[in-house]
Structure 1
Amino acid sequence: MCGRFSLTLPSDAMAQLFQAVPANALPEGPNYNICPTNQVHAVHLVDGTRRLVSMRWGFLPQWYKTENGGPLLINARAETIADKPAFKSACRTRRCLIPASGFYEWTKDEKGNRLPWYTYPTQGPILAFAGIWQDWERDGVAHRTCAIVTTAAGDKMSALHHRQPVTLDPDQWPLWLGEAGHGAARLMTAAPDRTLALYRVDPKVNSNRATGADLIEPLIP
């Protein structure tokens, strides 16, 4: 799964990297501890143009009567995304890219303590998570919301968790965004192990209130 991530690249650099037009209001950065329900950067198509916008991380189906009207949907499983009522329309017509500098996952020691690990890209400055998005509005409250697509973990990540986010290379972005026709479903696989590296970080990141660049520094035994 993906339950926490970081983003350190400035918005203007992301706009250039994704060749996207940036919105006026984007989340402040850098952010070393992005949590569910936070606003995140996302790239999607608007009238054929890539736009870098802000979305709420936590997909809200249109039938939710309140923001807490059902389970918090931060991830969408690749294997069932096309069939789940909450996701099936979005996966066909509303796909996006969610930039990340890296993401966190946890293991446990023999005492049950949560041990955080940080995973980051070995190729390129950023990860692009495959995402889906949905507009939601009730009683004058409106959100553009998103979820990260996950798949079965590859060999490297499986030591930490049985799921991992789908990450896409630049040459795959046009197909996922819908610029290059049909066939995006074949992209929903685990990234090659060589494209990801990981290391332990300090347990302070276990708190969703923790901040600062030291959250992604390697833990010195």
Structure 2
Amino acid sequence: MCGRLNVIDCPEVIDLCGQLGINLQDQAMPLRTSRFIRATNKISIVIEQKGERRLQDAIWWLLLEQAEHGFKPSQYTSFNTRYDKLNVKGSAGYAAYRTQRCIIPVAGFGETEVVDGKNQYTDFVGQQALGLGGLYRTWLNKETGELTYSCSVITLPPHPKLITYHSKASPLILEPAVFNSWLSDDQNVSQFECLMRPNIPVNLKAIAIDKPSSFNVLSDIKQIIAD
């Protein structure tokens, strides 16, 4: 996955938050929205702690390091966590996979592929909003007592339907049937093994663009049918 998300304030995203038990009007933190959210930005994640769910701001970069005032993204790239590292003891996501799973509500995501030496950018928008499976961690500022949250998106092998757009990986897109178990504090992660294969649960639109910052559409929108 390339490292950009689309979170717009649309009925589909609002409906997804409702499915996750999140009433946006009741949240202490507003939903962070932008058509172009890049890695290291703050994003909104859904977490469950002590049986209660909430929206939480998190830096989209799982590993942080101490800065002069709080924390900043580490030098080690960690906006994604590969599925095959989740059960490797000592890896960045091993403990979080068992105790700190989150869901990232998005309208879509973006991928980049190098073709003939040039970047080819494609944005994907779901027929419904997408709940991306992720991990989060917390970082304590010992001077202020403040907690900073960080997160990553779990990535899977490339999906055959998406491989021409991005040949390295695809994001974990969760179906509503697993939302509750994913957000629970159940450490029996063997139940999630069936999720660790590429899957497109909703129809997607593939939109070729010139670059993420300007979002000029280059060609006809292509339809990708759900599995």
Give the deviation of 1:44 after TM superposition: 1.0
**What is the match of residue 174 of structure 1?**
180
**What is the match of residue 136 of structure 2?**
133
State the alpha-carbon separation in 2 of the partners of residues 88 and 192 from structure 1: 25
SS in 1 for 2:163: helix
Which AA in structure 1 matches 2:175? D
Identity across the alignment (%) = 22
State the alpha-carbon separation in 1 of the partners of residues 185 and 203 from structure 2: 25
Worse overlay, 143-152 or 190-199: 190-199
Worse overlay, 12-21 or 77-86: 12-21
Give the deviation of 1:197 after TM superposition: 3.4
- TM-score, normalisation: structure 2: 0.79
Give the deviation of 1:179 after TM superposition: 6.7
Query: Structure 2 unaligned runs (5+)?
Result: 221-227
Distance 1:34 1:69, change over 3 A: closer
Worse overlay, 183-192 or 75-84: 183-192
Aligned residue among 17, 26, 30 for 1:26: 30
Q: Aligned pairs, how many?
A: 206
Cα deviation per residue 1:156-206 (whole Å; 9 max; x = unaligned)? 111122201100011121121127784123322211386433121122x1x
Distance 1:185 1:20, change over 3 A: farther
- Aligned ranges 1:53-92 → 2 under 5 Å: 53-60=56-63, 64-66=65-67, 67-83=72-88, 84-92=90-98
**What is the match of residue 18 of structure 2?**
16
State the alpha-carbon separation in 2 of the partners of residues 179 and 171 from structure 1: 16
Query: Structure 1 unaligned runs (5+)?
Result: none
Which AA in structure 1 matches 2:4? R
- Answering whether residue 43 of structure 2 is matched by residue 35 of structure 1, we say no
Q: Is the 8 Å Cα contact of residues 173 and 200 (structure 2) preserved in structure 1?
A: no
The runs of 4+ residues in structure 1 deviating greater than 4 Å are 10-14
**What is the match of residue 192 of structure 1?**
200
State the alpha-carbon separation in 2 of the partners of residues 56 and 108 from structure 1: 27
**What is the match of residue 104 of structure 1?**
110
RMSD: 2.6
State the alpha-carbon separation in 2 of the partners of residues 127 and 37 from structure 1: 20
Which AA in structure 2 matches 1:33? F
Give the deviation of 1:57 after TM superposition: 0.7
Which AA in structure 2 matches 1:219? L
**What is the match of residue 121 of structure 1?**
126
